[in-house]
Amino acid sequence: MTRLFNDPAAFADEALEGFAAAHRRWVRPVTGGVVRAAATPAGQVAVVIGGGSGHYPAFSGLVGRGLAHGAAVGNVFASPSAQQIRSVARAAHGGAGVLLMYGNYAGDVLHFGQAAERLAADGVEARTYAVADDISSAAPDESAERRGIAGDLPVFKAAAAAAEQGRSLDEVLRVAERAGARTRSFGIAFSGCTLPGSDHPLFTVPEARMAVGLGIHGEPGIGEEALPTADDAARLLVETLLKELPEDVAAPDGQRAAVVLNGLGSVKYEELFVVYRKVAELLGEAGVEIVDPEVGELVTSFDMAGVSLTLTWLDEGLEALWRAPADTPAYRKGALGTPEPEDDERAPAEDARDTAVPPASDASREAAGTVLAALDAVAGIVEAHVEELGRIDAVAGDGDHGIGMRRGSTAARSAAAEARERGAGAGTVLHRAADAWADRAGGTSGALWGTILRSLGTALGDRDAPAAPRVAEGVTEASAAVRRLGGAEVGDKTMVDVLVPFADALTAATAEGVPLTEAWDRAADAATDAAAATARLLPRKGRARPHAEKSLGTPDAGAHSLALITRAVHGALLNHH
């Protein structure tokens, strides 16, 4: 929902004022909207776009060299008035006429039409063009009734680039018509936006559902379906658009197309990229060559959750116009002169891990079986506690401890199994598990668990059967390495609070000659007690957890998971011996 405003009635005006203040290099405010900072060159057709507020970067964000000469900016979701449009057009006029461009909505059609008439009366030659790209909004035989959505961008750009080339008003209009006729969009939505000052959303979509073809102001769609996967969403978008090719395009194969994957506001960039991955694949399979794709927020609807796909089927002329440089507040292309050389070669994988394993003794290979069983138990206990670990971590951290531990322990188990299958000893199995954990888990816990497993592996090696004291030695080394790396000591409310007493207890018991499984049992008890004790501590001040008081009464997530793991490993040792 829209939360930041002053008087809701002043929202659009204040937004325009702030926009202009932030973008003085590109635009200057005039009554009714903005025009380019520099005057339109004499003899150049001016392209003036416009529409309601709430769709940024449409429309003001698209004013600048290579794109619009001016934008008339209406109130929230309302067409600018004819008077506003006329004012902007007169300020943008370079003596060669004005093309007024806008999305095909009843209000815009009325006001831009009236503006064109008034401009003619003022002695300014004006033409109008309404973009009508949303194929869900009317059938093909009524395509003139379709709404304009993200197809605005390629159609505006084609016309503006043609104007920049010095073409006449009628030629620029013909370019707009050709680009419009070859531009199709289709969209899906998951939730609506709440306008400034309103206490309820403009429209809603049921939880876990998707509205197909819903308009960007909540105009009804053509159906409702279950929430798709990203790949299925991509398939729906691509297949629908490939069903309605422009009249002069016989088949997609061999065609070139500008592609715009547009987020409506709260479908965010990474989601768009996941969808685009499949869109690119499917278009490639259909034989379509993608030209200068745009994946981002080009026409929004406040924080509406939705996404649309636009294809502009290019001919040679349209392609040159689409690729032409532009420099506007929200759309810049062809920066720094020449494009960088393309180079699609993937750099050789730096971590192509040598899959061969070093030689190992039979004893160490047998011990590797125990190690694998232990890692199995680790992955199992983490899986069982993912949610709990996340919850605990969320008290003072970012709540991802459970997820990270799952990724790491699962990867470690796989890597260990692979190494063991190749005949690795205990040391190598632990080293491979260490690398996999650190590599896949990321985050703090990934680095620290990688270090723990690596220290243990180094202590065990691939030759000797791992005696209990050797295991204790490895754990002690792990403890020292974790303190060094993490910069924490006992009492800082971190995993160190558990790792140190665990290592101490294990060392003490093995020094007494207690066999490993039993010694581990005692040490695991010490670990459990220590983890419980961390709940009473104030956390170490520091990065990402500076708020001591909040976590009083909650154990540290890393300490808690370590204690759980020591206990689980004891179970594996019991079973395996």
Residue selected from 489, 546, 574, 575 as contacting its own copies according to rule CB under 8 A: 546
Which amino acid is residue 357, in one-letter code? V
Site membership for its own copies, residue 547 (CB under 8 A): yes
Contacts 24+ apart (CB under 8 A), 444-449: 444/486, 444/558, 445/401, 445/404, 445/405, 445/408, 445/558, 445/561, 446/404, 446/407, 446/408, 447/485, 448/482, 448/485, 448/486, 448/495, 448/558, 449/405, 449/408, 449/409, 449/412
Give the other-Cβ count within 10 Å of 120's Cβ.
11
| Choice between 145 and 244, CB closer to its own copies | 145
Write down the residue that tokens 């007493």 correspond to.
Answer: 501
Q: Which is nearer to its own copies, 540 or 570 (CB)?
A: 540
Taking the C-alpha atoms of residue 401 and residue 551, their distance in angstroms, rounded to an integer, is 15
Binding characters for its own copies, 503-542, by CB under 8 A (x = yes): --------------------------------------xx
Shortest gap between Cβ of 509 and its own copies (angstroms)? 31
Residue 82 Cβ vs its own copies, minimum distance, rounded to whole Å: 6
In a 3-state reduction of DSSP, which class is residue 461? coil
Applying the rule CB under 8 A, the residues between 158 and 177 that interact with its own copies are: none
Where in 382-421 is the site for its own copies (CB under 8 A)? 394, 396-400, 403-404, 407
| Residue 476 in the binding site for its own copies (CB under 8 A) | no
**Binding of its own copies by 82 (CB under 8 A):** yes
**DSSP states along 190-223:** EE----TT-SS-S----TTEEEES--TT----SE
User: Stretches 35-43, 243-251, 456-464, 526-534: which one binds its own copies (CB under 8 A)?
Assistant: 35-43
Supply the Cα-derived Rg of the chain in whole angstroms: 32
Binders of its own copies in range 412-471 (CB under 8 A) = 435, 438-448, 450
252 binds its own copies (CB under 8 A): no
Residue 11 makes contact with its own copies by CB under 8 A: yes
Q: What three-state secondary structure class fits 70?
A: strand
Task: Provide, rounded to whole angstroms, the least separation between the CB of residue 289 and its own copies.
Answer: 13
Tokens of 554: 């909650």
Choices 75-83, 360-368, 463-471, 511-519; region in contact with its own copies by CB under 8 A: 75-83
Stretch that binds its own copies, among 165-173, 178-186, 236-244, 301-309 (CB under 8 A): 301-309
Task: Give the span between the Cα atoms of 163 and 169, in whole angstroms.
Answer: 8
* Cα distance between residue 68 and residue 163, in whole Å: 9
Cis peptide before 293 (omega within 30 of 0): no
Residue 407, both tokens = 């990724």
Binding of its own copies at residue 576 (CB under 8 A)?
A: no
Contact with its own copies (CB under 8 A) among 4, 42, 121, 356: 4
State how far the Cα of 395 lies from the Cα of 392, in Å rounded to an integer: 6
89-108 residues in contact with its own copies (CB under 8 A) are 90-91, 104-107
If one asks whether residue 157 binds its own copies (CB under 8 A), the answer comes out as: no
Residue number with CB closer to its own copies (230 or 514): 230
Determine, following the binding rule CB under 8 A, whether residue 25 of this chain makes contact with its own copies: yes
DSSP string, 369-404: HHHHHHHHHHHHHHHHTHHHHHHHHHHHS-S-HHHH
Q: What is the DSSP letter of 229?
A: P
Closest CB to its own copies among 70 and 466?
70
**Does 6 interact with its own copies (rule: CB under 8 A)?**
yes
187 lies in the binding site for its own copies (CB under 8 A): no
Using CB under 8 A, pick the residue from 253, 316, 350, 354 that binds its own copies: 350
Tell me which residues are annotated as active site.
Answer: 217
Q: Which is closer to its own copies, CB of 326 or CB of 519?
A: 326
The 3-state secondary structure of 78-123, one letter per residue: CCCCHHHHHHHHHHHCCCCCEEEEEECCHHHHHHHHHHHHHHHHHC
Q: Report the residue from 42, 121, 316, 346 that binds its own copies according to the rule CB under 8 A.
A: 346
Q: Which is nearer to its own copies, 308 or 370 (CB)?
A: 308
Q: Which of residues 205-244 bind its own copies (CB under 8 A)?
A: 215, 217-222, 227, 229-231, 233
Q: Is 133 in the site for its own copies (CB under 8 A)?
A: no
The two three-digit tokens of residue 421, written as one number: 């299958």
- Please, is 455 exposed, middle or buried when counting C-beta atoms within 10 Å of its C-beta (0-12, 13-18, 19+)? buried
Question: How many chain residues are in contact with its own copies, going by CB under 8 A?
Answer: 166
Comparing CA positions, the residue from 355, 411, 401, 402 lying closest to residue 383 is 402
When binding is defined by CB under 8 A, the residue of 123, 316, 341, 513 that contacts its own copies is 341
Task: Name which of 300 and 510 has its Cβ closer to its own copies.
Answer: 300
Shortest distance (Å) from residue 370 CB to its own copies: 27
Beta strand spans in 41-85 (E): 46-53, 70-76
- Decide: is 76 part of the binding site for its own copies (CB under 8 A): yes
